[in-house]
Amino acid sequence: MGIFDVAQSVVNSAAGIIVSDTSIDISSVTANLQTRLMAMDLGPLFGLWFQSIFVGFTMWALTICIFIIVYGRMIEIYLATSIAPIPMATMLNRESGGMGQNYLRSLFALGFQGFLIIVCVAIYAVLVKSISVSTDISKAIWTCMGYTVLLCFTLFKTGSLAKSIFNAH
């Protein structure tokens, strides 16, 4: 549990810094959006509506995928700590001591994975914050969806990256 206390301290410290730097004020982004939509013709509005429906459905699916990844990682932590007595009992054994050492490495990797997830979400927030709605609304919608796909992909990679950093099998 000490490993996860250290990891939680690192994650909390990183989250405090990241949250203050990546907050998004949505009212300033969409200030003149209604007037721009009122100035558009019916054809482009219908196309924008169709794109919004498609991207909204896709974003809903990506949100479910992201929640599954994050909650799956938490369940993985609980499962890893629940079997701790078995590999820890092998730590002092000369022949099978590698099992305990690899278990500790994998625990450090699981703890560090939370930090990597926080960094991925912070990068996503900075990217979404940089989207400009003032030029093209359709481009902004698709850019946001692209960034969300990128977030989902990077969240999948945090596990293997953390394991490779700590050389856990």
pLDDT digit string, tens, across residues 11-66? 777 777 666 665 666 676 666 777 777 788 888 889 889 998 999 999 999 999 99
pLDDT digit string, tens, across residues 105-115? 888 898 888 88
User: What is the pTM (predicted TM-score) of this model?
Assistant: 0.78
Q: Is 40 helix (H, G, I), strand (E, B) or coil?
A: coil
Structure tokens at 4: 């996860």
Structure tokens at 99: 């099992």
Work out the mean pLDDT of the chain and round it to a whole number.
83
At 24 the pLDDT is: 62
Could you give the CA distance from residue 149 to residue 98 in angstroms, rounded to a whole number?
38
Could you give the CA distance from residue 141 to residue 135 in angstroms, rounded to a whole number?
12
At 88 the pLDDT is: 78
Task: Give me the residue label for tokens 């009992």.
Answer: 89
> For residues 2 and 111, is the Cβ–Cβ distance under 8 A?
no
Higher pLDDT, 123 or 134: 123
